[in-house]
Structure 1
Amino acid sequence: MNTRCLLVLAAAFGVAVAQESFKCPDDFGFYPHHISCDKYWKCDNGVAELKTCGNGLAFDATDSKYLTENCDYLHNVECGERTQLEPPISTPHCARLYGIFPDETKCDVFWNCWNGEASRYQCSPGLAYDRESRVCMWADQVPECKNEEVANGFSCPAPGEVSNAGSFSRHAHPEDCRKYYICLEGVAREYGCPIGTVFKIGDSDGTGNCEDPEDVPGCEDYYGDVDLKALKKLGF
């Protein structure tokens, strides 16, 4: 091996050692790694130990006293110049072992992943999971949502087609007694009645309310043998 190669290897080794060496500013504390967002230094009796957060978590360096050891979801941590991360480790529905991830096919479904175990969550009727804000929003306001998913193919009546309609109109779901649509400026949004009730079409076009199933013809047995009185006592 020639001298030039030896110098290059020595320089590379020196950089690697410098990157992984750390002198504790105090006897005890938790300090961010200078280039990795998911690594940090734990100082105990002045001895530094390099630690790594779970895959999908990052070290929260907001404690100015460096006394807090906290790994949080990546989207909750301001990494700044700490741009490096461990390679992703994926499991079904989880791009990393920890995090909140959208479903690949259903825009109203998202997954909360903890140590690679995925828990499924579904937005309320009419809402969809927004990947940027990471909250459920009106489905028509979420770019990833296809038009047919916003209201399951339901189309609002043309302007002037519904008599006595004010700024919005209500319409029954064709298959589910508990669900209904609200049309606002030609956009359909799906809603759901509170548990224990179903949607009853009103006397006028485009109207209706949530009522007891026994008062809605065709929906009397919607809840089957469920004790609705017990549900209402529990606050559902």
Structure 2
Amino acid sequence: MLGAAAQESFKCPDDFGFYPHHTSCDKYWKCDNNVAELKTCGNGLAFDASDSKYLTENCDYIHNVDCGDRTQLEPPIGTHHCPRLYGIFADENKCDVFWNCWNGEASRYQCSPGLAYDREARVCMWADQVPECKNEEVANGFACPAPGEITNSGTFSRHAHPDDCRKYYICLEGVAREYGCPIGTVFKIGDADGTGNCEDPEEVPGW
């Protein structure tokens, strides 16, 4: 490793500063008293070269850094749930779960009911809008009633969750999305098919 690093050289533009490597996005040069030292960000991080004065030493998540022509990266070093030691990664099995990895330690996060983690946007979105989310996972397999099955519902209807009284489904143009009532309330089925609201448990028969 020392020999490989010694083959590279860099002429410091100033006595002090932090400068991007010309080909590697996760490497940079640290200049101190006009002496250059090649540094490498943590696995899964990249050097943020957005400071035009080159005074900031900042390694950030790769997806937050504009690498431009600096396309090379160190080979991945992974742990359980972490393809790289640092980063935010989707769960391989559950589309509403993602992992925040820091130095190989994975912290589990779960999207709110009805949402799934979008790998590209890196945010929780409606599950039916996330391509990686299998159809049977969207709304946990709940299927909206067929057109005309519910009278006077139009394209919008609400339905109770089969197992959790705090949750319910909204069907909009045949697409089911799971919602959750605020804490301290439960879903009360309305008088007409496909209707209902979140109410105080005391207002819900059988609670």
Shorter chain as denominator, the TM-score bin is over 0.9
* Aligned counterpart in structure 2 of residue 81 of structure 1, from 55, 66, 69: 69
Q: Normalised by the size of structure 2, how large is the TM-score?
A: 0.95
Give ranges in structure 1 of 5+ residues lacking alignment. Answer: 1-12, 221-236
2:182 maps to which residue? 194
**Larger deviation: 110-119 or 78-87?**
78-87
Conserved in 1, the CA contact under 8 Å of 2:18 and 2:56? yes
Q: Could you give the per-residue CA deviations for residues 61-86 of structure 1, whole angstroms, max 9, x where no partner exists? A: 11111011111100111111111111
* Aligned counterpart in structure 2 of residue 151 of structure 1, from 98, 122, 139: 139
Conserved in 1, the CA contact under 8 Å of 2:47 and 2:65? yes
Give ranges in structure 2 of 5+ residues lacking alignment. Answer: none
In 2, the alpha carbon distance for the partners of 1:209 and 1:45 equals 68
Counterpart of 1:31, as a letter, is Y
Mapping 1:14-163, distance limit 5 Å: 20-163=8-151
1:184 maps to which residue? 172
Aligned-pair CA distance for 1:163: 1.7
Conserved in 1, the CA contact under 8 Å of 2:5 and 2:38? no
Q: Could you give the per-residue CA deviations for residues 35-75 of structure 1, whole angstroms, max 9, x where no partner exists? A: 11000011111111111111000000111110111111001
RMSD over aligned Cα, in angstroms? 1.5
Counterpart of 1:147, as a letter, is N
Counterpart of 1:216, as a letter, is V
1:206 maps to which residue? 194
Aligned-pair CA distance for 1:123: 0.6
Aligned-pair CA distance for 1:214: 2.1
Runs of 4+ in structure 1 deviating by more than 3 angstroms, as ranges, are 15-18
Between Structure 1 and Structure 2, how many residues are aligned? 205
Aligned-pair CA distance for 1:217: 2.7
In 1, the alpha carbon distance for the partners of 2:168 and 2:91 equals 24
* Aligned counterpart in structure 1 of residue 162 of structure 2, from 144, 163, 174: 174
1:4 maps to which residue? none
Q: Greater helix share, 1 or 2?
A: 1
Counterpart of 2:113, as a letter, is P
2:203 maps to which residue? 215
In 2, the alpha carbon distance for the partners of 1:114 and 1:170 equals 40
Task: State the identity %.
Answer: 88
In 2, the alpha carbon distance for the partners of 1:167 and 1:156 equals 10
In 1, the alpha carbon distance for the partners of 2:197 and 2:70 equals 54
Aligned-pair CA distance for 1:16: 7.4
Aligned-pair CA distance for 1:164: 2.5
In 2, the alpha carbon distance for the partners of 1:213 and 1:198 equals 6
In 2, the alpha carbon distance for the partners of 1:113 and 1:214 equals 43
Q: Greater strand share, 1 or 2?
A: 2
Counterpart of 2:203, as a letter, is D
